[in-house]
């Protein structure tokens, strides 16, 4: 396999002149083969080769012997070796993880540290991390993802190369069957280590490797190759789907200060397969990870679009999907359960009366300040300038005084000159006030009668007319209150 594979690597530029390649070497057959093959590739391509070994602290003395084997192998070949020791069992227990998952996390953390160290020495060089996964590993991954109900990304198996920021991850042996790797080592007369834990069928992947794959090979001798071919086809389909999803995202997905807004076009202008991909990426972006975002979560957000405004679903990583008037808002649920957001401040009528005597009345409220001013109509009242945070009220209608507060049960307002009333909750819904604003919106009230939901229109009962003798001007300003005309 040597010359053919080396020529293939050179043709696809899996490593290029001037690169630094860090080979992950456990001491097993696959990684030893990779190291020796990369060493031979140096005859065709000018790059620096180094090794990284992670001693996981799982197998005691056997694990330390593997580290010593890798160290001596690298020394014999003049290859610098970075060796890390970690305590996987301790990390797994602390974080509630299985040994496999904990080992993977710590191993990749060590790879990153090695890359950072090399980058300091050679800041201008491109770093590639070469891992020795082969065809059987990829087939195992596809089967494992399939039985756990993975989506398309999982069924695509391992990628041959992937950008990881500080380094590019490459898997040069991904298309090679295990038997060819072992044959290469026999021809070279090269020994390698055997990790006994790889034979333990208590681990899911080992059961697939030692029990499931052999059975599939009995059905079809090319089972591994065919699984890899199917994964490659799915990768092509995924790439096309990603392009379509990105097109939809550009048109109908907008990042906002409070989260990600998905507009109706996501549901109305594209196929449901593209919808799911768009939603998966958007949820993962807000969450910071797509790892635990399942099809069930994605379907719950798809269905939410057809629900009433104000409905929501809770997702992993404290992500909240809310149905609003614009579509679906995905945001972090940062509100503390049971947090008291209520506010209330009494303004006796005696205090209000003093503004008509020339005294200033200005109060601090959540989000800014409010000022009151007394006006006396002088002749005919013209058209009132309609503004969002300044209102003229008929002071003659105020009986006992005012309150500035947040909503409570029983609040209502008068909606027309005939005295028809409407519950505040119903008013909020009709006026499309976002659900997340309703508990914190300030109200100017007289008992349960809402005179003004600040930023909205005032109650019909308190509007001024030709019979009004005193006008109370109320002006909210500063902080969250920025004046704009109302149309």
Stretch 47-63: mean pLDDT, rounded?
93
Q: Judge whether 31 is annotated as a binding position.
A: yes
Residues of the chain with CATH 3.40.50.620: 2-219
Predicted local confidence at residue 150, as pLDDT: 78
Higher-confidence residue of 107 and 436: namely 107
Looking at residue 379, what is its pLDDT? 57
The answer on whether 154 is annotated among ligand-binding residues is: no
Whether the per-residue pLDDT at 382 is higher than 70: the answer is: no
| Chain segment 235-277, per-residue pLDDT in tens | 999 999 999 999 999 999 999 888 999 999 999 999 999 999 9
Residue 358, annotated ligand binder?
no
51 or 59: which leads in pLDDT: 51
Q: What is the 3-state secondary structure (H, E, C) of the chain?
A: CHHHHHHHHHHCCCCCCCCEEEEECCCCHHHHHHHHHHHHHCCCCCCEEEEEEEECCCCCHHHHHHHHHHHHHHHHCCCEEEEEECCHHHHHHHHCCCHHHHHHHHHHHHHHHHHHHHHHHCCCCCEEEECCCCHHHHHHHHHHHHHCCCCHHHHCCCCCEEECCCCEEECCCCCCCHHHHHHHHHHHCCCCCCCHHHHCCCCHHHHHHHHHHHHHHHHCCCHHHHHHHHHHHHHHHHHHHHHHHHHHHHHHEEEECCEEEECCHHHHCCCHHHHHHHHHHHHHHHHCCCCCCCHHHHHHHHHHCCCCCCCEEEEHHHEEEEEECCEEEEEECCCCCCCCCCCEEEEEHHHHHHHCCCCCEEEEECCEEEEEEEECCCCCCCCCCCECCEEEEEHHHCCCEEEEECCCCCCEEECCCCCCEEEHHHHHHHCCCCHHHHCCCCEEEECCEEEEECCCCECHHHCCCCCCCCEEEEEEEECCECCCECC
pLDDT band at 481 (very low <50, low <70, confident <90, very high): low
Whether pLDDT at 338 is above 50: no
- Which pLDDT score is estimated for 148? 82
pLDDT of 380 reads 55
Is the domain spanning 231-332 CATH 2.60.40.420? The answer is: no
Mean pLDDT across the stretch 277-301? 90
What average pLDDT score do residues 60-76 get? 94
The pLDDT assigned to 336 comes to 45
Q: For position 272, what pLDDT does the model report? A: 93
pLDDT-derived band at 487 (thresholds 50, 70, 90) equals: very low
- Of 105-114, 125-134, 197-206, 404-413, the one with minimum mean pLDDT is 197-206
One CATH from 3.40.50.620, 3.40.50.10310, 3.40.30.10, 3.10.450.50 for 2-219: 3.40.50.620
Predicted TM-score (pTM) of this structure? 0.65
351 is in an annotated binding site: no
Residue percentage of the chain with pLDDT more than 70: 95
* Residue ranges, CATH 3.30.465.60, the chain: 231-332
- Which pLDDT score is estimated for 334? 66
Q: Is 28 annotated as a binding residue?
A: yes
pLDDT at residue 433, rounded to an integer: 82
Question: Residue 29, annotated ligand binder?
Answer: yes
**pLDDT, mean of residues 135-161:** 91
Confidence at residue 138, expressed as pLDDT on a 0 to 100 scale: 96
């Amino acid at each position: 396999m040597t010359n053919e594979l080396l020529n293939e690597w050179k043709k696809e530029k899996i490593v290029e002149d001037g690169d630094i390649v860090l080979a992950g070497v456990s001491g097993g057959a696959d990684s030893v083969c990779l190291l020796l093959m990369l060493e031979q590739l140096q005859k065709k391509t000018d790059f620096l080769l180094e090794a990284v070994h992670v001693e996981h602290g799982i197998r005691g003395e056997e694990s330390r012997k593997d580290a010593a084997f890798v160290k001596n192998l690298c020394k014999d070949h003049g290859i610098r070796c970075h060796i890390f020791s970690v305590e996987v069992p301790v990390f797994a227990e602390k974080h509630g993880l299985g040994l496999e998952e904990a080992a993977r996390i710590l191993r990749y953390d060590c790879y990153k540290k090695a890359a950072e160290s090399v980058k300091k020495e050679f800041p201008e060089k491109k770093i590639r991390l070469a891992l020795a996964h082969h065809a059987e590993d990829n087939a195992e991954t596809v089967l494992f993802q399939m039985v756990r109900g993975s989506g398309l990304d999982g069924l695509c198996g391992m990628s041959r190369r992937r950008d990881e920021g500080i380094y590019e991850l490459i898997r040069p042996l991904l298309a090679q069957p295990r038997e060819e790797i072992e044959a290469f080592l026999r021809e070279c007369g090269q020994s390698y280590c055997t990790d006994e834990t790889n034979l333990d069928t208590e681990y899911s992947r080992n059961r697939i490797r030692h029990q499931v794959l052999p059975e599939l090979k009995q059905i079809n001798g090319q089972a591994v190759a065919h699984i890899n071919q199917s994964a490659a086809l799915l990768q092509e389909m995924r790439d096309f789907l990603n392009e379509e999803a990105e097109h939809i995202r550009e048109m109908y997905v907008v990042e906002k200060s409070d989260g990600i807004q998905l507009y109706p076009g996501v549901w109305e202008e594209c196929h449901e397969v593209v919808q799911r991909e768009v939603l998966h990426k958007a949820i993962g972006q807000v969450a910071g990870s797509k790892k635990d975002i399942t099809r069930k979560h994605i379907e719950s957000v798809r269905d939410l679009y057809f629900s009433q405004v104000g409905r929501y679903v809770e997702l992993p990583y404290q992500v909240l999907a809310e149905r609003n008037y614009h579509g679906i808002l995905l945001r972090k649920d940062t509100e503390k359960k049971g947090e008291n957001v209520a506010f209330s401040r009494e303004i006796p009528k005696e205090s209000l009366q003093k503004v008509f005597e020339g005294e200033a009345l200005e109060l601090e409220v959540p989000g800014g300040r409010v000022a009151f001013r007394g006006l006396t109509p002088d002749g005919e009242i013209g058209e009132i300038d309609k503004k969002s945070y300044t209102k003229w009220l008929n002071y003659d209608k105020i009986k006992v005084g005012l309150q500035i507060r947040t909503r409570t049960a029983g609040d209502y307002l008068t909606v027309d000159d005939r005295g028809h009333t409407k519950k505040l909750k119903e008013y909020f819904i009709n006026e499309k006030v976002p659900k997340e604003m309703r508990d914190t919106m300030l109200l100017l009230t007289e008992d349960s009668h809402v005179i003004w939901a600040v930023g909205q229109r005032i109650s019909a009962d308190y509007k001024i007319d030709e019979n009004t003798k005193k006008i109370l001007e109320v002006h909210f300003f500063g902080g969250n209150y920025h004046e704009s005309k109302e149309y």
